Chain A
Amino acid sequence: EAQVTQNPRYLITVTGKKLTVTCSQNMNHEYMSWYRQDPGLGLRQIYYSMNVEVTDKGDVPEGYKVSRKEKRNFPLILESPSPNQTSLYFCASSLSYRSIAAGELFFGEGSRLTVL
């Protein structure tokens, strides 16, 4: 089954404790992206990757890092989490950035992160 898988789905952590949210897709997609969803703010892009070893900042990259060492994985790293990073995070992938406009951006089920 074609899917985007995120882990963990739920996490409660404390300020400053490094964490990684993993994202994996099995569709051989070139494009991958991370979004966060916050009440009243909708979905905002954190980072995206056009292909292996190619990443770029989205609209809200502060406090986050990503890597794209292989095509299927795109982990989101919070080196020193803070309470304002409490949010619902979504990973998404697409065959290529050109496929996005056709609606072919597929989202994972989300990871709810709470930073105390």
Chain B
Amino acid sequence: DQQVKQNSPSLSVQEGRISILNCDYTNSMFDYFLWYKKYPAEGPTFLISISSIKDKNEDGRFTVFLNKSAKHLSLHIVPSQPGDSAVYFCAASVVMNYGGSQGNLIFGKGTKLSVKP
């Protein structure tokens, strides 16, 4: 069963407009959520994260919003730039105890963002 879901495989946005990437999760034990960005022929790189005790985290053009009651988070990119074109992965983590899969990241399937000039 998929615990982290990104239901939109792709998103196309005009340069300068807002990009909104969505992510849903099912496990209420997740306590951190992260967004990773991946360019072709490169490994994923960390973009921004949010703790489950917060509802918003902002870093420059990137803002992540968390709605715990809806088990939903979103990444907003404003303004979008052509260089933002990449695959974005939502990931979740439970950092509580050693053992099992604690502390590991569970990734969504990714959303391919295309920002057109």
Contacts and interface: CB of A to CB of B under 8 A. Distances in A.
Interface of A: 4, 31, 33, 35, 40-45, 48, 50, 56, 58-59, 90, 92, 97-98, 100-110
A43 B6 CA distance: 12
Q: Which of B43, B46, B48, B49 has the largest count of A CB atoms less than 10 A from its CB?
A: B43
A105 B43 contact: no
Interface in B57-106: 89, 91, 93, 95, 98, 100-106
Contact of B95 (A40, A56, A98): A98
Q: Which of A40, A44, A103, A106 has the most CB of B within 10 A?
A: A103
Nearest to B4: A42
A56 B109 CA distance: 23
Given A100-B103, A100-B105, A110-B42, A50 B31 contact: no
Interface size class on chain B is 20 to 34
Given A50-B98, A97-B102, A98-B103, A103 B49 contact: yes
Contacts of A106: 43
Interface in B10-51: 31-32, 34, 41-49, 51
A100 B93 contact: yes
Nearest to A38: B109
Contact of B43 (A48, A103, A107): A107
Given A100-B93, A101-B32, A103-B49, A40 B109 contact: yes
B98 A90 contact: no
A114 to B, nearest CB: 16
A107 B42 CA distance: 9
Nearest to A41: B109
A104 to B, nearest CB: 7
Contact of B110 (A42, A58, A101): A42
A52 to B, nearest CB: 15
A42 B5 CA distance: 10
Nearest to B101: A58
A102 B93 CA distance: 10
Given A58-B101, A100-B95, A90 B49 contact: no
